[in-house]
Amino acid sequence: MEKIGVAVCGNSGIDYLVHDKEIRKFRSLLNIGKEEYEDFIDISSDDFYSRLQKNPDLDISTAQTSTGRILEMYEEMKNSGYNKLLVITISKELSGTYQNAVLAAKMIDIDVVVYDSKSLTYVEALMAMRAKQMADKGSSMEDILIQMDKIRDNNHVFITVDTLKYLVKNGRLSGVAGAIGSLLKLRPLLHLSKEGKVETLAKIRTTSKAREELMNLFFDEIKGKDIIPFIVYTNNMGEMLDLKDELEAKGLDEVLLIPLTPVVGCHAGPGTMGVGYIEKV
């Protein structure tokens, strides 16, 4: 009989949500100066963005969970009685986490399915929560993966950043493009593509106009769809609470708020926000 265990990387933000504690988490590392922090365990989202606001030139970098640490988690899950594991990761286009999870799977003698969410934040978190619910009800791995595919193929996340500084600093944008963008006060409107890449949809002169265009695209796309809407925030929770009220006033139900984890936020910077949806299919 299958006993399926579920694990998800911390880039999902699941630590900040109410969830089944039997879902295992493996978290990336945040380096601030010479100090190393495990995302959520050693540093919270609020603390990180507060520190970044006070010192925009903070020396920060990230590292994905090591293969050895992931293998330890697999072994613990096996020892807890699970004979199959479903391991959900941030898009492999955004991190080496997927590859490390695959390498670790080759080092243990139980079946491990490493699933590329092709996303991050709440999309990834919902996959883990839905998979755990299905596993608890006795669903097969095959049926769970069908549901994972439905979530993966029916979502979209739009993002704006308040500064190009961190995209440049962390190699997501060339230094020349960043310098020109800062000079012209350009704000890229980004999205997560179906392949799991962060791509530019438009370059807009101000943050407010970028956010306005984001909302236009979002509402155009959700017409006629039954969705789960969510907002991703950084150090701007107050603004996002207002946006939540605005979305709900326009007819959306139970808009979720979820912080962008420090490890992901390291590449985006304070002031970043996102609006996304998952279609109910």
3-state secondary structure of 73: helix
In 109-206, where does DSSP find H-type helix?
121-136, 141-153, 165-169, 175-184
Which CATH number covers residue 116?
3.40.50.10170
The answer to whether residues 52 and 22 touch, using CB atoms and an 8 Å cutoff, is no
Whether residue 264 sits in one domain with residue 250: yes
Q: Is residue 47 part of a domain?
A: no
- Please tell me the predicted confidence (pLDDT) of residue 176: 47
pLDDT tens profile 117-139: 999 999 999 999 999 999 999 99
pLDDT tens profile 157-201: 999 988 777 877 766 555 546 555 554 567 889 999 999 999 989
pLDDT tens profile 239-260: 999 999 999 999 999 999 999 9
For tokens 């990761």, what's the residue?
89
The answer to whether residues 160 and 207 touch, using CB atoms and an 8 Å cutoff, is yes
pLDDT tens profile 21-63: 999 999 999 999 999 999 999 999 999 999 988 998 899 999 9
Whether residue 111 sits in one domain with residue 19: yes
- Please tell me the predicted confidence (pLDDT) of residue 120: 96
The answer to whether residues 129 and 20 touch, using CB atoms and an 8 Å cutoff, is yes
214-217: long-range contacts, CB 8 A cutoff, minimum separation 24:
214/158, 214/159, 214/160, 214/189, 214/275, 215/275, 217/158, 217/189
Total tally of structural domains belonging to the chain: 2
Q: Is residue 68 part of a domain?
A: yes
Whether residue 220 sits in one domain with residue 145: no
Q: Is residue 133 part of a domain?
A: yes
What is the value of pTM for the model shown?
Answer: 0.94
